[in-house]
Amino acid sequence: MSATHPVILVVNAGSSSVKVSVYTVPEAAHDNADINPVLSAHGQIESIGVAPRLRASMADGHVVADESFPVAQVADHDAAFRLIRLVLSVGLRDNPPVAIGHRVVHGGSDFAQAVRIDDDVISRLEALIPLAPLHQPHNLTAIRAVRKAAPDLLQVACFDTAFHAGHDMLAQLIALPYEYYERGIRRYGFHGLSYEYIARRLGQVAPDVAAGRVIVAHLGNGASLCAMRDGRSVESTMGLTALDGMPMGTRCGSIDPGAVLWLAQQGMTADAIQTMLYGASGLKGLSGVSSDMRALLASEEPRARLAVDFYAYRAAQEIGKLAVTLGGLDTLVFTAGIGANSPPVRARICAHLTDLFGISLDNAANNDNSQRVSSDASRVPVLVLPTDEEGMIALSTARILRESGKL
């Protein structure tokens, strides 16, 4: 890494993994409105507390570490972050980072953009843990670990909810007594870092449609869809928490509240219900096979097929609902792990949309994961764009660095 370029670390702490990416900021960013951090290296630890595995590589693909560890050595996120930091420190010895940007899942109603982290910010994020129990505690663990190791290092929180902060009140309301809305019980939306990147990317690769009525399907282990107009979010399928909307890998998606009441009446504790809704439902719960879409598509089990069919059916339904909000549909975009890499899932979803929107796919383009996968006859273009949440975090962190005079 060049010693002349400032270095930014990006930390993305998930429910069972910690990802750390290293970005350098080109000199042009010091006096130019455009900041384009460049990825230099990436490392991650997966299956924390179960089967920990560390992998690290340079941006050109050169692998610098690939090792599995005993569970006791990487039993929690704190241990995982220390280990990955140790590996990366070898390459960063001569050019330490000037800032660290963190993905934070829930920003509540307080945070509509990325912010510098201080004691007050941490306290407000802690209060949001009940709304994102799978993610928020791990996001905060990484923040605290950095503060302990390097207390003077600038840290920036980048929120999955921030891109949706401008939603109309009708898109935020939940039909509970109004006092709960005033107390912050409202629909926030998530995956905002991904959607912000796609909105920016659309402006680069398809400026003719970027300002129109766009629905983006972020389909991964977590899944949601977002309706955009003029590159801004106007509605999302996720709500107060990341449980709402689409069924996901292990999360249930939308559910009749009466079902939750029934579970409680049967004697299940709140913790047990939370564990089931977040960790044992969705594709995993329906199929009884796996939460991994690749495994389900390869399986001959009838319930695996059922789970995939239900997933596609619900995605198509959500697209229809978002089109109502937009008053139509000009472009459909697929992104994230499943959305950008699974032709069969895209085909299943789009098959439900043919009669309503005149969508048809070019089979060869779809199978190749091309940027445009719709046929010439399709009334609505269908695009595939890989997302880059870490890149958006690096960009937001660099902007705050520059605003503070440190870049």
In a domain, 154, yes or no: yes
- Give the pLDDT confidence score for residue 30 in this predicted structure: 52
Give the residue from 95, 69, 99, 94 showing the smallest Cα distance to 82. 69
Whether residue 14 sits in one domain with residue 123: yes
Q: Is 160 a catalytic residue?
A: yes
Reported for 359-363, long-range contacts at CB under 8 A and 24+ positions apart, including other chains, are: 359/332
The CATH code of the domain that includes 150 is: 3.30.420.40
Angle between helices 192-205 and 389-403 (to 10 degrees): 90
Whether residue 69 sits in one domain with residue 126: yes
In a domain, 300, yes or no: yes
Profile the chain (407 residues) by mean pLDDT over runs of 10 residues.
74 80 76 76 82 85 86 82 69 77 93 94 94 88 85 94 96 97 94 96 94 97 96 97 95 97 98 95 97 96 98 98 97 97 98 97 98 97 96 94 81
In a domain, 266, yes or no: yes
Whether residue 228 sits in one domain with residue 145: no
Whether residue 143 sits in one domain with residue 264: no
Contact (CB, 8 A) for 349 and 312: yes
For 37, the domain range is 7-159
In a domain, 168, yes or no: no
| List of residues 6+ apart from 168 with CB closer than 8 A | 234
Give the residue from 257, 296, 292, 304 showing the smallest Cα distance to 277. 257
Indicate which residue of 94, 160, 208, 376 is catalytic.
Answer: 160
Decide: residue 185, CB within 10 A, 0-12 exposed, 13-18 middle, 19+ buried: middle
Question: For 20-165, where are the alpha helices, taking DSSP H only?
Answer: 77-92, 119-126, 136-149
Whether residue 237 sits in one domain with residue 123: no
Q: What is the pTM of this model?
A: 0.91
Domains of the chain: total = 2
In a domain, 185, yes or no: no
Whether residue 219 sits in one domain with residue 146: no
How far is Cα 184 from Cα 181, in angstroms, rounded to an integer?
Answer: 5
Answer with the one of 127, 159, 191 that is the final residue of a domain. 159
